[in-house]
Amino acid sequence: MDKDDFFEKIKGNLNNGSTIVFAANCEVAYSGRAESHLPGGDRIILIKPDNTLLVHQPSGTTPINYMKGGSSHAIYLKDDLLLESRNLLTKEYLKIFIKKVHFFNTHKLDDAEKISLAGSEKDMSEMIYKNPLLIELGFKPLSMEEHTKYGFIDVFGYDKENVFVAVECKRYTGDLNAVTQLRRYVEKIKKLKGLEKVRGILACPKISPNALKMLHDWNLEYKSVHPPKHLEKYKKDQKKLFHYE
């Protein structure tokens, strides 16, 4: 694609509500929260109406470089093409030196929809709250996902001997971080309530060996609980959409 042609096209579509996509051989430099340099290669560049700019290499999930929404972009053509993006508030700068444009497209996209998602850690807390037997016999949940002065404890309540219990849920392997998080909560409750004994239970499908060791060192407990896969409210939708399963 011709440089002058590209220059005119992109110039006419920056800041007019259009979404722009093009493929180009380019070199990218970023300066801001860090400094980066990406030598020449073929990439996809996506510019959204909110001025988000993404640079994607031909592999991987995450963009190799990007500028968040609210940045301002400008295109220059001298000997070479230069697409420059700035965000003065965050002091971030991105420069894309464009050597060759493979294709260019733009369109005004209309999308006001938001995604519905089920199966998060919160749903796991809810499941435990409704089915306290998943933790143990006699567990009486008092509250769930509440931002109390004790912290963001997923589920908390009392056991059959009326000892305070804090439950921390993780959807995947419990790690060292999860253990220290639980430990923080337990200590905070002890201190704030002036209690000697508070139990802390890490509820997750599995746990790493080091995490389990640290858990035991701190007299915390592990209960294997699997996160819920389907939520009632989306079950029907999903069934319709994935009926072949």
Partner DNA sequence: GGGGAGAGATGCCGC
Partner DNA sequence: GCGGCATTTCTCCCC
Footprint on this chain of DNA (rule: CB under 7 A): 30, 32-34, 36, 60-62, 64-68, 89, 92, 94, 115, 117, 119-122, 147, 151-152, 154, 168, 171-173, 175-177, 181, 184, 206, 208-211
Instruction: Give the nearest distance from C-beta 131 to a second copy in angstroms.
Output: 19
The smaller minimum CB distance to DNA, of residues 30 and 139, is found at 30
Which residues make Cβ contacts (< 8 Å) with residue 87, sequence separation at least 6? 32, 67, 68, 70, 71, 72, 93
Residue 161 CB-density burial (10 A; 0-12 exposed, 13-18 middle, 19+ buried) = exposed
The pair of three-digit structure tokens given for residue 93, joined into one six-digit string: 């700068």
- Residue 216 contacts which entry, a second copy, DNA, none (Cβ below 5-8 A, type-dependent): none
Instruction: Give the nearest distance from C-beta 115 to DNA in angstroms.
Output: 7
- Residue 29 contacts which entry, DNA, a second copy, none (Cβ below 5-8 A, type-dependent): a second copy
- Specify which residues 95 forms β-bridges with: 29, 84
The smaller minimum CB distance to DNA, of residues 15 and 148, is found at 148
- Residue 93 contacts which entry, DNA, a second copy, none (Cβ below 5-8 A, type-dependent): a second copy
For residue 239, how many other CB atoms are within 10 A of its CB? Answer: 11
DSSP class of residue 12 equals H
Instruction: Give the nearest distance from C-beta 157 to a second copy in angstroms.
Output: 23
The smaller minimum CB distance to a second copy, of residues 97 and 158, is found at 97
The pair of three-digit structure tokens given for residue 213, joined into one six-digit string: 């060791």
DSSP class of residue 34 equals S
Residues near a second copy (CB under 8 A)? 19, 21, 23, 29, 31, 33-44, 46, 48-50, 52, 54, 56-61, 63-66, 68-69, 93, 95, 102-103, 105, 107, 109-120, 171, 176-177, 180-181, 183-184, 214, 229-231, 234, 237-238, 241-242, 245
The smaller minimum CB distance to a second copy, of residues 1 and 144, is found at 1
Parallel/antiparallel/unpaired status of strands 151-158 and 140-148: antiparallel
Q: Give the integer Cα–Cα distance in Å for 171 and 222.
A: 14
Q: Among the residues of 152-241, which ranges form H helices? A: 176-193, 209-217, 232-241
End-to-end alpha carbon distance in the chain: 45
